[in-house]
Amino acid sequence: MTEAFLHYLWQHQMLDKRLDTTDGQPVVVIRAGDLNRDAGPDFFNARISIGGVEWVGNVEVHLRSSDWNAHRHSADKVYNNVVLHVVYEHDAEVFMEDGKIPATLELRRFVHPAVAANYEMLMSPGIDDGIPCAKRLPSVPSLVLSSWLDRLVIERIESKLEVVHRLLDESRGGWEKTCYWLLARYFGGKVNALPFELLAKATDKGLLARWRDNPHRLEAILLGQAGLLDGSFLDDYPNELQADYEALRSGAALVPIDPSLWRLFRLRPSAFPAIRISQFAALVAAAPSLFSTLLTITDVRQMEHLFDCEAAPYWNNHYHLDKPSARSCVKRLGHQQADILIINAWVPLLFAYGMAIGQQFYKDQALSLLQQLDAEDNAVVRQWCAAGIKPDNAAQSQALLQLKNAYCSGRRCLDCRIGHNIIKQSK
Ligand code: SF4
């Protein structure tokens, strides 16, 4: 038994209907009150009839009555307007600061054993890596599940808004600039997110737009700004890029970022920074006003196609400048990476835009894009599939990721609609 569970039982009145105080007075709860997570009594503004007299006031909840003394409430005037002391076990008579004895309700007499057992099952140790309620999921109505997933996907998007708002602040509300920075960040993946973001910030979007018809020069600017064109090269291609970059450098006041920021560790060669930068240059060439372009795209396949850009032909048989590779292949970003950009960058940005201008339409469009994408395939999603919940699309797989990471892993079953449904079963 935990105090959090007692709060939950009281808040949802998951108790037998016929209640009485420890001194035998019948209790009827008209209003459980508002849960207070700050200092002071646990529930404010409750309305309770005790022994036929209606009271309006606060409710304090404890595991044992003696906790009242342990928490020094007997010396605190704030607790003088407690109308009911709700405890799991009544082990001591207590007094308020004004000398009165609070009416006390002992919950252990009124909690259905099945409800307590369901909670115990959810909290039982030893299943931290999996989904603690997996065996009980089939008993949860599909409507409960689907409405919960609809809510969780929004939470998942909201959890990604912090970086959007940070970039939006830094760009002083410039949506185009934020879009360009954010997409650059996600082009870098987990490993090179920071240098990619710094690269985008160090490279004026206007300059790139000016050279939109010259992909070679775009690549030269971005690779030069990434600090990857320093030194001397043997191949013609990097020498040409270097010459292009140097020709612009002083006139455009270009200052490269620190090249030591780039990381190759644990990266597949196809995700090496120079290749990703070449692909990013191709994206900028295809849509210099990225934000305005993306706003017009409602079909996710069209968006995947735009993001699935191709690195310059030099990279077909190179992973590094001047170092030919044994295998040759066209280096496209790929649909999987394009989907990652849509899910993690564009959808949150579009959602934030809808919020900022008060247009539900854009928030719906963000959700629609997720619904059009295939569900992701990763370790967490596979756990849900093994438990019998198979997502139909990326909106549902994102919701399941949110559920596992933000609820199951922290055992927040009392805040979860599935947990709520399971706990009250057999009541
Ligand atoms: S948080 Fe919800 S889904 Fe996760 S284990 Fe608890 S009840 Fe189940």
Q: Which atom of ligand 1 is nearest to the CA of 407?
A: 1
Is the shortest distance between the CB of 416 and ligand 1 below 6 Å?
yes
Of 156, 158, 175, nearest in space to 167 by CA: 175
Q: What percent of the chain has pLDDT over 90?
A: 95
Q: Which atom of ligand 1 is nearest to the CA of 416?
A: 2
Report how far ligand 1's centroid is from the alpha carbon of 136 (Å): 10
Indicate the top mutation candidate among 384, 418, 421 to test ligand 1's pocket, ranked by most ligand atoms within 8 A of CB: 418
Which residues are 203's β-sheet partners?
none
Which residues are 43's β-sheet partners?
35, 59
Across the range 353-361, mean pLDDT stands at: 97
Contact 153, 396 (CB under 8 A): yes
- Strand pairing category for 19-20 and 82-89: unpaired
Q: Report the half-sphere exposure of 350 (CA within 13 A, side-chain side).
A: 28
Report how far ligand 1's centroid is from the alpha carbon of 122 (Å): 7
Each residue's pLDDT tens digit, 239-282: 999 999 999 998 889 999 999 999 998 899 999 999 999 999 99
Nearest CA residue ID for atom 4, ligand 1: 408
Is the shortest distance between the CB of 152 and ligand 1 below 6 Å?
no
Is the shortest distance between the CB of 133 and ligand 1 below 6 Å?
yes
Position 245 scores a pLDDT of: 97
Indicate the top mutation candidate among 140, 403, 407 to test ligand 1's pocket, ranked by most ligand atoms within 8 A of CB: 407
Nearest CA residue ID for atom 7, ligand 1: 419
Across the range 344-368, mean pLDDT stands at: 98
Is the shortest distance between the CB of 102 and ligand 1 below 6 Å?
no
CA angle, 364 as apex, 363 and 369 as ends, to 5°?
100
Alpha carbon distance 52, 92 (integer Å): 25
Report how far ligand 1's centroid is from the alpha carbon of 419 (Å): 5
Indicate the top mutation candidate among 413, 417, 424, 425 to test ligand 1's pocket, ranked by most ligand atoms within 8 A of CB: 413
Each residue's pLDDT tens digit, 291-344: 999 999 999 999 999 999 999 999 999 999 999 999 999 999 999 999 999 999
Is the shortest distance between the CB of 132 and ligand 1 below 6 Å?
yes
Report how far ligand 1's centroid is from the alpha carbon of 389 (Å): 13
Alpha carbon distance 107, 260 (integer Å): 62
Of 336, 348, 405, 417, nearest in space to 145 by CA: 417
Is the shortest distance between the CB of 408 and ligand 1 below 6 Å?
yes
In single-letter form, the type of residue at position 257 comes to: I
- Strand pairing category for 34-35 and 26-31: unpaired
Position 128 scores a pLDDT of: 53
Q: Which atom of ligand 1 is nearest to the CA of 137?
A: 8
> Residue 385 CA to chain centroid, in angstroms?
20
Q: Which residues contact 15 (CB under 8 A, 6 or more apart)?
A: 9, 107, 110, 111
Contact 220, 245 (CB under 8 A): yes
Each residue's pLDDT tens digit, 69-116: 999 999 999 999 999 999 999 999 999 999 999 999 999 999 999 999
Report how far ligand 1's centroid is from the alpha carbon of 426 (Å): 18
Position 286 scores a pLDDT of: 95
Alpha carbon distance 230, 418 (integer Å): 57
Report how far ligand 1's centroid is from the alpha carbon of 416 (Å): 6
pTM exceeds 0.85 for this model = yes
Residue 125 confidence class, pLDDT cut points 50, 70, 90: confident
Q: Which residues contact 331 (CB under 8 A, 6 or more apart)?
A: 270, 275, 278, 279, 310, 311, 315, 316
Q: At what angle are helices 161-170 and 175-187 packed, to 10 degrees?
A: 130
Is the shortest distance between the CB of 412 and ligand 1 below 6 Å?
yes
Contact 315, 271 (CB under 8 A): no
